[in-house]
Amino acid sequence: MKNWLIQLRAGRLIVASVVFSVVLAEIIVVAMSRWLHAEVRYDFLLTGFVTATIVSFIVVTIIQVIVRALQTTDEQLLERTLYLDSILQSTGDTLIIALDTAFRVKYLNAMAERVLDISAGKAQGQRISELVDNVRREHFEQAMRAATPGRGHSFAFSYELEEATHYFEATLTEILHRNRLAGFLLVAHDATDRKRLEETLRNLSYQDGLTGIANRRRFDEKLDQEWRRAAREHQPISLIMLDIDFFKNYNDHYGHPAGDECLKRLAQVLAETVARPGDIAARYGGEEFAAILPNTSLLGAEKLAEQIRAHVEGLELPHANSAVSPWVTVSVGLATRIPGNDDTAAVLLEGADRALYKAKQAGRNCVVSDHH
């Protein structure tokens, strides 16, 4: 269409149009003259020529003005379309998909093409649920069912891009034209970096700043989770608690920097020994440490507790002010329970703490089990 518009503006085409109009008008005048007067009257020819020329120029001028207006509108529309497409394509980590009322694809930006692994041309006319795998199809179909006229719907999904998992937060909103539903707009932002940062911050909030193992907050959450799981599955759960023997004397003699290093070495032993998936080693507070052992019997917990005690003594960290050994040692208490309907994790915690107290009474550097 644009080529025709350009040709209509060309001077030669305008002249040709005028000449054609005049000739056509003269033919009509001659025919009318012969029909009315049985001869060709030259005054009719002159009048027809002048009139046809004037009318032709007026008509062509009007057409030219209309064509120029159409061309200007066409250029403006094209320019706006290019700008809009450039904006949509430069949205970086934002996925944009336009859908009709039947959720068929009308538009994909570059990020959407990457995620769905399909070109915009091939995706045209296909339902969005047909372009995603089975894992994510339910997410999209739920969003489409929830996005009824008058409200949108937010949901999240993930995709593998460049051998890494990307997390998207999406919103499906309606597109209105003259107050009538014309389609839907799906906008999804890549929230991977933010989620990774949140995960990092969450891990840091669960980590003891000195030793690097789990802190008391993480210990409390994990104990509650594993206790409830053990109750559901009717499985045993064990808890080990240990305390460095005469640690105040150690700090007084060697200084707090050496005391911090001692705590780090003990935490390392604990982390290396309590290494089964699902288990967790934590700094309970001060010089006291703990280990949660899901699906572990009393016998299994006793063996692991003795390994921890022996490994700590095997470090041979000098402790000149210890009353039980020339080396740093630990007292260990443990308890095992199969949760009952009315029990709480406090039962297990109290049992392990009671056993730790008995280990200290028994002379320290030993393991004691709670048999309640």
- Give the pLDDT confidence of 290-346 residue by residue, as tens digits: 999 999 999 999 999 999 999 999 999 999 999 999 999 999 999 999 998 778 899
Which residue, 282, 287, 285, is CA-closest to 207? 282
Contact criterion met (CB below 8 Å) for 339 and 231: yes
Dump pLDDT digits (tens) for 79-97: 555 545 554 455 567 888 8
Q: How many Cβ atoms from other residues are within 10 Å of residue 73's Cβ?
A: 10
Mean pLDDT, all residues of the chain: 81
Q: What is the pLDDT of residue 331?
A: 96
Architecture of domain 206-370: 2-Layer Sandwich (3.30)
The percent of residues above 90 in pLDDT, for the chain, comes to 40
- Cβ neighbors of 67 (< 8 A, separation 6 or more) are 5, 8, 9
State the Cα–Cα distance between residues 160 and 142, nearest whole angstrom.
21
287 is catalytic: yes
Three-class secondary structure of residue 106 per DSSP: strand
Q: How many CA atoms lie within 13 A of 146 on its CB side?
A: 13
Q: pLDDT-derived band of residue 188, with 50, 70 and 90 as boundaries?
A: confident
Token reading at 277:
């998936």
Among residues 271, 239, 251, 257, which one has the least CA distance to residue 328?
251
CA-CA distance, 172 to 177, in Å (whole number)? 17
- d(CA 173, CA 122) in angstroms, rounded, equals 23
Alpha-carbon distance 327 to 318, whole Å? 5
Question: What whole-number distance in Å separates Cα of residue 347 and Cα of residue 197?
Answer: 36
Torsion angle (degrees, nearest 10) of CA 337, 341, 347, 349: 70
d(CA 110, CA 86): 10
Give me 257's structure tokens: 């920097």
Residue pair 88/109 in contact (Cβ under 8 Å)? The answer is yes
Place of tokens 């570059």: 110
End-to-end CA separation in angstroms for the chain: 92
Sign of CA dihedral 317, 323, 325, 328: negative
Q: Within 13 A of 230's CA, how many CA atoms are on the CB side?
A: 27
For residue 307, give every residue at least 6 positions away whose Cβ sits within 8 Å of its Cβ, in sequence order, or none: 273
Q: CA-to-CA distance for 211 and 259, rounded, in angstroms? A: 12
Examine the pLDDT at 362 and tell me if it is beyond 80.
Answer: yes
From 344, 341, 329, select the one nearest 239 (Cα to Cα).
Answer: 344
Rounded mean pLDDT of 210-221?
92
CA 82 – CA 107 distance, rounded (Å)? 14
Q: What is the pTM of this model?
A: 0.57
Print burial letters for 266-297: b (CB count within 10 Å at least 16), e (below 16): bbbbbbebbeeeebbbbbbeebbbbbbbbbbe
Task: Over range 92-103, report the average pLDDT.
Answer: 80
The mean pLDDT value for 215-233 works out to 92
Q: List the structure tokens of 358.
A: 């008995």
Residue type, 299: L
Catalytic residue among 113, 287, 288, 302: 287
- DSSP for 38-99, written as a single string: SS--HHHHHHHHHHHHHHHHHHHHHHHHHHHHHHHHHHHHHHHHHHHHHHHHT-TTEEEEEE
Instruction: Name the architecture of domain 94-195.
Output: 2-Layer Sandwich (3.30)
Per the CB < 8 A criterion, the answer to whether 305 and 290 are in contact is no
pLDDT digits (tens, 9 = 90+) for 194-203: 888 877 777 7
Determine phi and psi for 247, rounding to 5 degrees: -70, -30
Tokens linked to 162: 């460049």
Beta partners for residue 107, in sequence order: 98
